[in-house]
Chain A
Amino acid sequence: MTAVARAWSRLTLPGKVVFTLIPLLAVLTSGLIAAIVLFGGPVVEVLNANLGVVRFVAAATIILVITIPIAFLNIYLEMKVIALMNLRIGPDRVGPWGTALSVVHGLKVLMKEDFTPSGADPVVFTWAPVVTYAAAVLTIVVLPFAPGLYGQDFNIGLLYFFAMGGLGVVGLLMGGWASFNKYSLLGGLRSAAQIISYEIPLTLSVVGLLILAGTMSLNTIVEQQDGWFANWYVFRQPLAFVIFFIAATAEANRTPFDLTEADSEIVAGFATEYSGMRFGFFFFAEYVNVFILSALTVVLFLGGWNAPFEIDPLLDWIGGVLPGLGITTPVTVALDPGGLGLPLLFLILLVPPLGTLLFAAPFYLLRSSMRWWVALIIGFLLFNVVAGGLVMAWAYVSFEWVAGLLWFLGKTFVFVFVFVWMRGTLPRVRIDQLMGFAWKWLLPAALLNLFVTAFAVVLVRS
């Protein structure tokens, strides 16, 4: 016994960790194998029978994970873009161009004290950010990111989206009520009034589009907009697009409609008493909401994953004019790495060093002051950029979903930028102006849009 204890005490800390983990891992692995052997068949059968549920759960899990980088990216964009608009430098310390700062913000929020004020209702106070965040996350399930890349294709996708998006206000109201603070209460009431008022023009503005599309499935709506950008719904429903975007700004509680957290009036609104990760969830939900509403605008009005142009007719035309080029459409890149056999290994081993040397050579040869290792580093980075670009181009041509995802994210982040731009430029409206704008202008405009669309559809079809 003493020998074992002596041996244990001689181990370093990593050694202790490894020696503890090895038997644990062995036991768990064998247990898992045994479980798969014993119960694998029935489990697979059950999963097969409920494939829809499994798919939904998997999608929800993946989406929960991808919201975090989306929120980080939005936070970084907001910090940097507003800084540049203010003629400041903005984040530039953590990571290249300060890109890691939002991660550090996340860690900071995690490490802060999670404080519950005395007098608050602890249960409601704790669950409020959960509800808000869950509402934001659940809406992503129906968003079509690319052909075949979506959580679930409901035939009531849009309805589901609005239903889930409307849940977020429940969390804000819970937070405002449970905080036992008058600023929070006013913020919660403001958010309830604002979001309920703006849900109506938001939903009504889309009804005209639904009449044209004839479906609520977001996938189908995107598929209807393929081809040239003239097919996008924004050109058939321009008024609806404007109303939708304004109402979406209010839905996401963004400037100029950020009355729920108006810092110069009610300090931080519903989030006044929150700290730590509970505040972080509110914060995350806001940025995820910005992304989601931008994405929905893109999906409904700007063609979703579709490229704004068709490359094939253009290539056909070039092929017709210059037959010598031998262009055939659709363009495919025939790459079959497996066909190379054993030389493939040599290729994988040789291309990176050779490429690095190739890109490093001009720097080393043309500049006498260049150290060889500096040239090698530059060459390596350049090689990576070029190789990455080539791989991306190959993926773009070969996989439909890569191209779709690129276009979708590109368009979406244009709208995220517009949200940030408005935040940098505009002051905040007053609560009576906010409500008056929704009920006196947006709602009649949405009804007018619906009426005109319906009338035109009836005229065209008869």
Chain B
Amino acid sequence: MTTTDHRRPSADDPRVLLDEQVGMYEPVPPYPPRTEREAEFYTLGDGQLLINIGPHHPATHGVMRVVMKLSGETIVDLDPVLGYLHRGVEKLCENADLHQTIAYLDPLEYVSSLFCEWPAVMAYEKLLDVEVPRRAEYIRVLTGELNRVSSHLLAMGFHALDLGGLTPILYSFIERDEIVEMLASITGQRMLFNYFRIGGVNGDLNHEFMSRLGDWMSRATEQIEANVGLLNENEIFVRRNRGVGVMDPELAIKMCWTGPNLRASGVPFDIRRAHPYSVYPELDFDIPTRLEGDSLARYLLRVDEVKQSLRIIDQCLHQMPDGPVMAKLPRLLRPRPGRAFAAVEGPRGEYAIYAVSDGTDQPFRFRIHDPSFLHLQSFGRLVPGKLIADWMTVNASLDPIMGGIDK
């Protein structure tokens, strides 16, 4: 039996044969469709084309690939392809002792690392029955809220960058740089802090941190107001966001949304209030919500949250007690057999760790819950029927971080 060879040699390298029938750059998987959904997705209708956004694309916020089925500029269907950044963090953590796991968790959410460490140390503290000193709890809240501000600033800047605005991202980075520098002065790192410890934090606040924080707090509110004014009062920015990617509250709850994205749909759910942890019950702050549920609401909600975080930081500085920052713990930690779940409210939603211990110094099972992954899976609900540019808006407003999604 002879088959017709549709391949022809490439112009650059005659040894490379190009398949003319499929087309070189068609993002079609090299295997026959495995599911009905796959078969339906990769069957093109009249005037439709498949296009790859990613894995390296300026607007994917990391290494994500989205195959889009387009009809002209309109997105008919889309299929996010994940796993380009998968490192098997859960398995790594199951083969490390408790202290080592904290360092593995940092790069998951590389713009808000403290919120990856926090649920892990909380879960271990539950397993070990450790009482954390109050000063350590206050320091955790203080640094965590600083990290939340820096993360939200970055999200706001990249939102503008994805819509084509060059300047806001740099203004955001000015403030973020200041925060990162002051956190670096107590943690020794600018991005992956590795600061929280089981039973406390790694070091007490120092002079450099306090002086930088005082300087920054005295001008932070006006500075951030001025920066977001460039976008909030910009007609083009508002029009591109309003009514794009609208999520209704019921569906948001069904899709397991949390964090600012959920609150922008009108559900006032915040783990700091719903399941209080650390010293949040002692602090006075509001849970901002918005009813629209579109990209603009998600953006504006982050602006509101930054203001609330500044309030919390202020209160922490005034209420911070003296005392130790670490509980007294044995050198080798062997938790009791059992399981513990801990969740914190991160800048993108609920970060949670479910740790199972079998009595050794390593976790038996270590499950990481990441909010970005759950937000990302609702693309199929938010985007079809919109234009390519709307996908960038929705993606920027959901603010996913690929490190946590691919784990």
Contacts and interface: CB of A to CB of B under 8 A. Distances in A.
A265 B167 contact: no
Contacts of B12: 118
A181 interface: yes
B76 to A, nearest CB: 15
Contacts of A85: 167
A264 B163 contact: yes
Contact of B163 (A119, A183, A424, A427): A427
A430 B166 contact: no
Contacts of B236: 256, 426-429
B384 to A, nearest CB: 16
Interface residues of A, number: 34
A267 interface: yes
Interface in B40-98: 49, 51, 57-59, 73
Contact of A88 (B161, B170, B230): B170
B11 interface: yes
A425 B230 contact: yes
B145 interface: no
A255 interface: yes
B240 A430 contact: yes
Given A182-B49, A186-B73, A264-B164, A430 B57 contact: no
B21 to A, nearest CB: 13
Given A426-B234, A427-B234, A429-B236, A262 B164 contact: yes
A423 interface: yes
B163 A431 contact: no
A373 B186 CA distance: 52
Interface string A246-270: 0000000001101000111111000
Contact of A425 (B161, B167, B170, B240): B167
Nearest to A428: B164
B174 interface: yes
Interface stretch (B131-139, B273-281, B337-345, B387-395): B387-395
B165 interface: yes
A119 B18 contact: yes
A87 B73 contact: no
B160 interface: yes
Contact of A428 (B11, B163, B390): B163
Contacts of B364: none
A20 interface: no
Interface string A58-92: 00000000000000000000000010011110000
Interface in A325-355: none
B15 interface: no
B24 interface: yes
Range, interface on chain B: 35 or more
Contacts of B163: 264, 427-428
Interface in B105-124: none
A432 interface: yes
B240 A427 contact: yes
A181 B25 contact: yes
Interface string B262-290: 00000000000000000000000000000
Contact of A263 (B25, B58, B231, B234): B58
A257 B51 CA distance: 23
A256 B236 CA distance: 8
Interface in A114-148: 116, 118-119
Given A181-B25, A264-B58, A267-B57, A431 B164 contact: no
Contact of B389 (A424, A426, A431): A431
Contacts of B104: none
A9 interface: no
A86 B59 contact: no
A266 B234 contact: no
Contacts, number: 90
Interface in B346-404: 387-390, 392
B336 to A, nearest CB: 51
Contacts of B25: 180-182
A87 B171 contact: yes
A265 B388 contact: yes
Interface string A412-440: 00000000000111111111110000000
B137 to A, nearest CB: 37
A429 B49 CA distance: 24
A430 B164 contact: no
B164 A82 contact: no
B58 A182 contact: no
A45 B399 CA distance: 73
A427 B170 contact: no
Contacts of A427: 160, 163-165, 231, 234, 236-237, 240
A265 B164 CA distance: 9
A86 B234 contact: no
A83 to B, nearest CB: 9
A457 B167 CA distance: 45
Given A430-B387, A430-B389, A431-B389, A264 B170 contact: no
Interface string B139-180: 000000000000000000000111111110011001000000
Interface in B236-263: 236-237, 239-240
Nearest to A182: B51
Contact of B166 (A262, A267, A423): A423
Contacts of A424: 166-167
B10 interface: yes
A181 B57 CA distance: 15
Given A255-B164, A425-B167, A430-B390, A87 B240 contact: no
Contact of B58 (A119, A256, A267): A267
B11 A265 contact: no
Interface in B1-59: 10-12, 16, 18, 24-25, 49, 51, 57-59
A117 B273 CA distance: 57
Contacts of A118: 10-12, 16, 18, 24
Nearest to B237: A427
Contacts of B230: 425
Contacts of B49: 182
A183 B50 CA distance: 11
A12 B49 CA distance: 63
Contacts of B239: 429, 433
Nearest to B72: A189
Given A119-B24, A186-B73, A432-B387, A86 B51 contact: no
Contacts of A428: 163-165, 236, 389
A118 to B, nearest CB: 4
B240 A86 contact: no
B127 to A, nearest CB: 44
Nearest to B59: A264
B11 A87 contact: no
11 contacts: A82-B167, A86-B170, A88-B170, A183-B51, A190-B73, A255-B164, A256-B236, A262-B164, A426-B165, A429-B239, A431-B73
Q: Report, nearest first, the 7 A-B pairs whose CB atoms are least far apart.
A: A428-B164, A427-B165, A427-B163, A264-B59, A86-B170, A118-B10, A118-B11
Interface of A: 82, 85-88, 116, 118-119, 180-183, 186, 190, 255-256, 258, 262-267, 423-433
Given A182-B25, A427-B237, 14 more contacts: A118-B18, A119-B18, A183-B51, A186-B388, A255-B164, A256-B164, A264-B58, A265-B392, A267-B58, A425-B167, A427-B236, A428-B163, A430-B387, A431-B387
